[in-house]
Structure 1
């Protein structure tokens, strides 16, 4: 009986170990289209769902305002989005893909307000099976 218990315990341990080491389901990873949607929803609609997951840990966010340049790290970027959470922007917007080669996509987001246009260029890169925003540059014209 002890032998049977030991065999069952060993089998259970083997199954538990293989389940813990199994690759996560691809549903947990964001595709590049998912990342575009997450970012657009955050900027335009104030919906921050999955934003943190869509941003690379070393994301660079640069804002050009006239002669001044502001740089934000990931936490500062998230904090700035939280300040406008659930706020719908009163603008018309368009997105266009500037480049989509191999594991990198560059996207342009134009937000047209009354009197000016805010343009963001977003770089999205594949990191493992996941896609992440690695760089954002924003300017008004």
Structure 2
């Protein structure tokens, strides 16, 4: 009788552990191309930073052409700036367009139309092996 109780308890424990692990997602499983793009747009236009760190590649480079000045930022600098200005919704109309896309790389244009200017962001999104991540952002103000 003790052996039967031990076996049943062991099976119950095994089933419980198996069920818990079945819900665990591996790194990069949710990192689709669309998820990366939508997360970036939410961060830049709505100030929602949830998931942004995950979709930015560790070596991502942000470049901005402002007039004749080229500004460059790395991931840490950009995330720190966005955290300081987080939860601010931009007064703009946003549109996205796929410029080029294949199985490994996509170039996406994100236009943010403000009252007096347009900020065009060109995102390079790459299939990194750990999901789709943003590897480069180039912004132009018109």
Q: CA RMSD in A?
A: 2.0
Report if the CA contact (8 A) 1:123-1:134 is conserved. yes
User: How far off its partner does 1:53 sit?
Assistant: 0.5
User: TM-score, normalised on structure 2?
Assistant: 0.79
Off by >2 Å, runs of 4+ in structure 1? 23-29
Cα distance in structure 1, aligned partners of 2:25 and 2:128: 15
> SS of the residue aligned with 2:45?
helix
> SS of the residue aligned with 2:121?
strand
Correspondence 1:112-131 to 2 at 5 A = 112-131=113-132
User: How far off its partner does 1:63 sit?
Assistant: 0.6
User: How far off its partner does 1:81 sit?
Assistant: 1.3
Aligned residue pair count:
121
2:100 is matched with 99
User: Runs of 5+ in structure 2 lacking a partner?
Assistant: 1-23
Cα distance in structure 2, aligned partners of 1:71 and 1:129: 25
User: Runs of 5+ in structure 1 lacking a partner?
Assistant: 1-22
User: How far off its partner does 1:77 sit?
Assistant: 1.0
User: How far off its partner does 1:83 sit?
Assistant: 2.2
Correspondence 1:45-56 to 2 at 5 A = 45-56=46-57
Cα distance in structure 2, aligned partners of 1:124 and 1:25: 20
Correspondence 1:59-78 to 2 at 5 A = 59-78=60-79
2:3 is matched with none
2:7 is matched with none
Correspondence 1:21-40 to 2 at 5 A = 24-25=25-26, 28-40=29-41
Cα distance in structure 1, aligned partners of 2:135 and 2:77: 15
2:14 is matched with none
Cα distance in structure 1, aligned partners of 2:28 and 2:130: 11
1:9 is matched with none
